[in-house]
Amino acid sequence: MIPLAVACTAAAVIFLVPGPERLRLPATAAGSPRTARWCGLVFVAVAGALLTGARLVVLSLIVGGSAWAVLRLVMARRAAREAEARRARVIELCDGLRAELASGQTAHAALDRAAADWPLVAPAARVAAAGGDVPSALRDLAATPGAGSLRIVGAAWQVAHRTGHGLADVLGRVSDDLRSGEQTRRVVLSELSSARATARLLAVLPALALAMGAGAGAAPWEFLLGTPAGLACLAGGVGLALAGLAWVEALARVSDRGETG
């Protein structure tokens, strides 16, 4: 009954933990209700498999859940790299538009040439060619992860259009401000890198401890894989390790969003 009690307690904690709005964290950082329900179901399934002695089912759940969690972390890291590349492209966009305007090109022609280099802004270039609302088009494109600074570019475009001030000068100031903010963001990320490295080290330390125990003749794998209590400990340990990694990454994303937006 101990594995069932542990699993039910863990599931209750997941279901009753305060939501993202009470923790003052974005929903993407603290986890969605759907994710929480799936975690609770996995815990209950593990407990049921332990009680029925279905060792293969428990191992399959542990391996499958671990693979799913690792895949989510890898996808999140890839999305973060893509967003970082888009932030750099926004700065390059400002510099390119400024250079084109300084050479005598019209704003619409400069944006059309920039779209040839960066397809993300192609919809805004088409709106400009049709004589539409370019600032609104840029604000719509700013919803893309990492491209949030396009809102500032759209605001600069709108201010220059209404006041008659040179768009090249405004974009130059925007580029300088974005570049300064990017430098600050990199300093913050460098400070967070130590916390991320520590979390990853703590996640792999149990595996090293198990390897050392096996080398010393303690036979930890026979206990973890061959007994219900061991399987419960293995499931709980893997789950807590992955949860710790996800939480550290979520906190890093929250800090990153605080710096960029």
User: Tokens 């990492």 identify what position?
Assistant: 146
End-to-end CA distance of the chain: 49
Give the separation between CA 113 and CA 98, rounded to whole angstroms. 12
Per-residue confidence (pLDDT) for residue 232, from 0 to 100: 82
**How far is Cα of residue 52 from the mean position of the Cα atoms in its chain?**
38
pLDDT tens-digit readout, 57-115: 777 777 887 888 888 888 888 988 898 899 999 999 999 999 998 888 888 898 999 99
CA atoms within 13 A on the CB side of 72: 16
> Domain residue spans in the chain?
87-179
pTM of structure = 0.66
Give the separation between CA 199 and CA 246, rounded to whole angstroms. 9
pLDDT in tens for each of the 261 residues of the chain? Answer: 344 434 444 444 444 344 433 334 344 434 444 554 555 555 555 555 555 556 677 777 778 878 888 888 888 889 888 988 999 999 999 999 999 988 888 888 989 999 998 999 999 999 988 888 999 999 999 999 889 999 999 998 888 888 767 888 889 899 999 999 888 888 888 888 888 888 888 888 888 888 888 888 778 888 888 888 888 888 888 888 888 888 888 887 776 665 555
